[in-house]
């Protein structure tokens, strides 16, 4: 069971349906592996439900005409879900990794295959394209880190990065992270995660805001990342 959880604010945002689509996938994936946070979110959702019920007893709402209520329901209607590929044409995007359902679902609906790019020695990143209407400061990607390799030291410029382990593990100054664990990095934290020996570490990362690398190599990288 995971021991490193997303911040309570993230769970609240998720329960309220206010998370960005990328964050929504990461939190849902964590919940699929974490009974503790699942319970918290259920509680938050019940709380939200009670609040709606108490709104429902409000005179203004009761006096609404049936037509107006239907119109409201129509507005709340969710868009049709994209058709899913037949089981036969499904390509495993990450062979050997048991992907949580929300991530599997996201990768299944991608318009083009994942493109792995080198991000330093033993580190690869594949960006997961987000819908065009999403704020472009949000990024979602998969990271593949070879055993024993360190991710460049970086801080987060006014943004936050959530990293969830899908396979293998890594350590930073706060502890050891394995499958299901979520690490939160923000501007306060300079961290340097190092992948465990013996197994490739695969993570899902969601960044809201811009990353700023520190250190001499990082300063050069920053020049390339400011696009
Ligand atoms: Zn949790």
**Sequence spans of domains, the chain:** 8-76, 113-225
- Options 3.40.50.150, 3.40.50.300, 2.60.120.10, 2.60.120.1440; CATH of 113-225: 2.60.120.10
Considering the domain delimited by 8-76, tell me its CATH architecture.
Orthogonal Bundle (1.10)
Secondary structure of residue 29 in the 3-state scheme:
helix
CA of 145 to the centre of ligand 1 (A): 23
Residue 123 has pLDDT above 70, yes or no: yes
State the DSSP string of 175-193.
EEEETT-EEEE-TT--B--
- pLDDT at residue 70 greater than cutoff 80: no
pLDDT tens for each residue of 30-67: 999 999 999 999 998 888 777 767 766 555 444 555 56
What's the 70 CA to ligand 1 centre distance in angstroms? 38
Tell me how far CA of residue 139 lies from CA of 22, 113, 132, 204, 225, in angstroms.
7, 17, 12, 11, 13
Strand duo 194-195 + 138-145: pairing: unpaired
The residues whose Cβ lies within 5 A of ligand 1, an ion, are 5, 34, 36-37
| Ligand 1 mean position, distance from CA 143 (Å) | 21
Matching fold, domains 8-76 and 113-225: no
Residues 13 and 129: their CA atoms lie apart, in Å, by 22
Q: State the distance from the centre of ligand 1 to the C-alpha of 174, rounded, in angstroms.
A: 16
pLDDT in tens, 8-25: 989 988 988 888 889 999
């Amino acid at each position: 069971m995971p021991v490193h959880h997303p911040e309570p604010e993230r769970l609240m945002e998720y329960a309220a349906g206010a998370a960005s689509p990328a964050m929504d996938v990461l939190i849902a994936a964590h919940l699929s592996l974490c009974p503790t946070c699942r319970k918290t979110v259920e509680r938050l959702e019940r709380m939200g439900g009670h609040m709606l019920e108490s709104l429902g007893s409000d005179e203004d709402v009761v006096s609404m005409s049936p037509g107006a209520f239907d119109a409201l329901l129509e507005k709340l209607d969710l868009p049709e879900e994209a058709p899913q590929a037949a089981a036969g044409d499904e390509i495993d995007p990450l062979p050997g990794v048991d992907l949580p359902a929300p991530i599997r679902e996201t990768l299944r609906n991608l318009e083009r295959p994942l493109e792995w790019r080198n991000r330093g020695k033993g580190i690869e990143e594949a960006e997961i394209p987000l819908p065009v209407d999403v704020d472009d400061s949000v990024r979602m990607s998969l990271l593949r880190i070879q055993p024993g390799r360190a991710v460049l030291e970086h801080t987060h410029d006014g943004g936050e990065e959530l990293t969830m382990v899908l396979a293998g593990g890594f350590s930073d100054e706060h502890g050891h992270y394995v499958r299901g664990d979520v690490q939160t990095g923000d501007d306060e934290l300079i961290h340097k995660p190092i992948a465990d020996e013996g197994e490739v570490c695969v993570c899902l990362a969601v960044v809201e805001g811009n990353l700023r690398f520190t250190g001499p190599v990082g300063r050069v990288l920053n020049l390339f990342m400011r696009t």
